[in-house]
Chain A
Amino acid sequence: MEIKNTMELKLPSLSVNEGFARSVVGAFATQLNPTLEEVADIKTAVSEAVTNAIVHAYPKTVGEIVISASLDGQTLEVSIADKGVGIHDINQARQPFFSTAGDESRSGMGFTVMETFMDKLTVTSIPGQGTVVKMAKTIQALG
């Protein structure tokens, strides 16, 4: 029986962890022998999801973010979960340029970038309980 490779990373929602989180998932994905562009796509999408958790899930507190990833054949699956405030209207949140962040540090393009850079994106959220963002990307085998 083939054992799937998996990883899990738990972090407090501090912005300094954004770079660390995307680098870890990018490094985990290198087992699939991706191109530099594919690694950059994964790092960018993870950065968006982790930043959303830091900015929106825990706007006034520091909470836990759990990043887990697994490899299934040539496909990377990654999940970013928080126990924060949740999203009331997921469809609205996924619209380009929609943002509830008051400052201009977020452009409202987070979900659009995740959708474009990954093959699959699902968002589940319960207001008051938290959000789980799941993404998948299949790495094309070379040659």
Chain B
Amino acid sequence: MEEYVMDHPERKYCMQIKVKQQDRGIIACLSGELDHHTAMQTRDTLDKLISKYKDIDLVLDLKNLSFMDSSGIGVIIGRYKKLKNSGHNLYVTNPSRQIDKVMNVSGLYSIIKKL
């Protein structure tokens, strides 16, 4: 399993992304808090994964993501579009009740499937 620890100067609170490879795709396990402060790093790390493992579906495992606001919605929709353009899918799994509510309000589940 690969592990990406996103580094930023403040290191006050950072996002960690661990990657598991499976038959049809990869699972990226996000832990920490996904807000505007961590959005850019999360986006860049996920984009690196998408370019590294070509021809894959991506599952975002949110089990250890303790907080997400609408900045996270921007990150998820952006990655969804990127994968869709190359004929692949993005899924989310294990969102907390708070994250589920943000996803529902944003209408995210009308385009992205929750596993």
Contact = CB atoms under 8 A, between A and B. Distances in A.
Question: Does B bind A?
Answer: yes
Interface of A: 15-16, 18-20, 22, 37, 40-41, 43-44, 47-48, 51, 54-55, 104-110, 112-113, 116-117
Contact of B74 (A44, A54, A106): A106
A117 B104 CA distance: 12
Given A16-B12, A19-B37, A47-B35, A105 B98 contact: no
A6 to B, nearest CB: 25
Q: Which of B33, B43, B70, B71 has the most CB of A within 10 A?
A: B70
Contacts, number: 84
Given A37-B97, A40-B97, A104-B74, A16 B37 contact: yes
B102 A51 contact: no
Interface residues of B, number: 26
Contact of A109 (B13, B39, B97, B106): B106
A44 B35 CA distance: 10
